[in-house]
Amino acid sequence: METRRPSGTSASVKSRDTVVVGLDLAGSPHRTTGFCVLDHRLEARTLAVHSDSEIIRRTVEAEPVLVSIDAPLSLPRGRRTIDDRNGPHFRQCDLELRRRGIRFFPVTLGPMRMLTSRGIRLRQEFERRGLPVAESYPGAAQDILGIARKAHGVEALRRALARQGLRGLAPRRGLGHDELDAVTSALVGVLWLLGRGEFIGDPTEGLMLLPLRGAMEQLRSGGGRGAPTTRSKRGR
């Protein structure tokens, strides 16, 4: 499957118009999917959602420049289906994560198969509606940005994101790790639009969007502000 740079993300888009939707997708609609709308000021609005129809509706309503999804959105080259037991288990972007020492679950592992199938289905639906889509991985982004992963606790993750300058994350009942990972996915998208992200992997197989090291420090110091760009070696 060929992947391309997200459309609609040229330098003609003004920063004030930049809105990214981040999704921490669950494998099943019976489980909570974290949903975040994040703007260039790093003001976050989060929700817990469930069904595909609700995810699609709320995403379309947000009119995002980019949809950043925490789920595998492609299969390893040579694997015909997610249930193909004989195909390869890793994509080039997965192998790059491993080379960088970042922990992840392969797309073919147990419940990841259901998540991958749902992620691909939603990606196709968003693209059919003209919305640019990127695969993100909050765990990798948090490692790169020096943010504690959710394994350290929801409150630790919330405070870490707030220290990075994210707004709208005041403690409240029901704010969980799903929503905070959705915030991280959205943040990766905003950073890329501001020239502080990169795509890894093979564009003919599937790409993953990651922040650059030091991205938040540069953002806070004024570097990378201004009109979003598509500055990246590769894009979906």
Q: d(Cα 83, Cα 81) in Å, to the nearest integer?
A: 5
Residue 10 vs residue 72, higher pLDDT:
72
pLDDT single digits (tens) 94-151: 999 999 999 999 998 888 999 999 999 999 999 999 999 999 999 999 999 999 887 7
pLDDT at 215: 95
Q: Go through the domains of the chain in sequence order and give each one's CATH number.
A: 15-220 (3.30.420.10)
Q: d(Cα 18, Cα 65) in Å, to the nearest integer?
A: 6
Region 154-163: mean pLDDT is: 94
Amino acid making up residue 85: R
pLDDT single digits (tens) 165-213: 999 998 877 789 999 999 999 999 999 999 999 999 999 999 999 999 9
Q: Is 122 exposed, middle or buried (0-12, 13-18, 19+ CB in 10 A)?
A: buried
pTM attached to this predicted model: 0.88
Residue 21 vs residue 171, higher pLDDT:
21
- Give the max Cα distance, the chain: 49
Region 27-34: mean pLDDT is: 97
Of 4-13, 59-68, 203-212, the least confident: 4-13
pLDDT at 45: 96
Region 74-94: mean pLDDT is: 91
pLDDT at 221: 80
Write down the residue that tokens 């699609």 correspond to: 56
pLDDT at 53: 98
DSSP code for 15:
G
Other C-beta atoms lying within 10 Å of the C-beta of residue 216: 23
Both tokens of 159, joined, read 């405070």
